[in-house]
C-alpha cells in the first residue's frame, strides 16, 4: 500500500464544511484526524463525501469532540469514498482545529 493522500486543513472554529478535495478512486483506506488546541464546548465533527464538489454530502463517520485540551480524534473509512471529501464542523466554537486526511491505496 502506498500513501496517496496527505491533506491538511486549519479551522478557527467556524461551522460548516471546509474546502473539499478530490480523492483518487484507488484510496482503499482513509483516516481523518482532528486535533484542537482550545475548545470551549463539545463539538460535533464529521467526515463527509460526495460525488461532486458541490454535493450532496454524505456522512462517512462522525464523532463528538470533548472539551479536553490537545486531544486527537480519528474517523476511519474502509473502502472507497465519494470522489470528493471534506471535514465538517457542525456548530461554531472557539479554538483552533487541525484536520488531516491520510489515505492509502
Q: How far apart are CA 72 and CA 57, in angstroms?
A: 24
Do 73 and 38 form a contact (C-beta atoms < 8 A)? no
For 12-83, list the strands marked E by DSSP.
16-17, 21-22, 29-36, 43-50, 58-65, 72-78
Question: What pTM did the predictor assign?
Answer: 0.88
Per-residue pLDDT of the chain (105 residues; tens, 9 = 90+): 788 999 999 988 889 999 999 998 878 899 999 987 666 677 889 999 999 999 999 999 998 887 666 678 899 998 888 799 999 999 888 778 889 999 998
Residue length, the chain? 105
Nearest to 71 by CA among 93, 100, 97: 97
DSSP state of 76: E
Amino acid at each position: 500500500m502506498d500513501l496517496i493522500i496527505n491533506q491538511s486543513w486549519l479551522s478557527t472554529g467556524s461551522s460548516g464544511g471546509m474546502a473539499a478535495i478530490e480523492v483518487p478512486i484507488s484510496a482503499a483506506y482513509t483516516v481523518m484526524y482532528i486535533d484542537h488546541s482550545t475548545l470551549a464546548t463539545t463539538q460535533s465533527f464529521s467526515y463527509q463525501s460526495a460525488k461532486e464538489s458541490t454535493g450532496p454530502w454524505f456522512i462517512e463517520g462522525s464523532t463528538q469532540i470533548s472539551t479536553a485540551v490537545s486531544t486527537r480524534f480519528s474517523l476511519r473509512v474502509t473502502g472507497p469514498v465519494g470522489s470528493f471529501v471534506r471535514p465538517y464542523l457542525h456548530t461554531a466554537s472557539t479554538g483552533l482545529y487541525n484536520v488531516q486526511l491520510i489515505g492509502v491505496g
